[in-house]
Amino acid sequence: MSKAKLVILDCWVSPFCMRVKIALNEKGLEYEAQAEDLFGGKSELLLSSNPIYKKVPVFLHDGKPLCESIIIVNYIDETWSSPPLLPPCSYGRAQARFWADFIDKKVFDACGNIWRSKGEVPVEAKKEFIEILKQLEEALGDKDYFIGTTFGFVDIILIPLTSWFFALEKIGGFTVEAECPKLSNWMKRCLQRESVAKVVPPPEKVYEFVLMFRKMQGID
Give the interface with another protein as residue ranges (CB under 8 A).
Answer: 52, 61, 64, 66-68, 71-72, 74-75, 78-79, 90-91, 93-94, 97-98, 101-102, 135
Cβ–Cβ under 8 Å, residues 58 and 66: yes
Q: Which residues pair with 37 in a beta bridge?
A: 41
What's the closest the beta carbon of residue 106 comes to another protein, in angstroms? 9
DSSP track, 16-42: HHHHHHHHHHHTT---EEEEPBTTTB-
Looking at the Cβ atoms of 12 and 75, the one nearer to another protein is 75
Cβ–Cβ under 8 Å, residues 138 and 180: no
Q: Three-state SS for 180? A: coil
What's the closest the beta carbon of residue 203 comes to another protein, in angstroms? 28
Looking at the Cβ atoms of 39 and 98, the one nearer to another protein is 98
Looking at the Cβ atoms of 93 and 193, the one nearer to another protein is 93
What's the closest the beta carbon of residue 99 comes to another protein, in angstroms? 10
What's the closest the beta carbon of residue 18 comes to another protein, in angstroms? 19
Determine the distance from the C-alpha atom of residue 6 to the mean position of all C-alpha atoms in its chain, rounded to a whole number.
20
Looking at the Cβ atoms of 67 and 167, the one nearer to another protein is 67
- Interatomic CA distance for residues 191 and 197, integer angstroms: 5
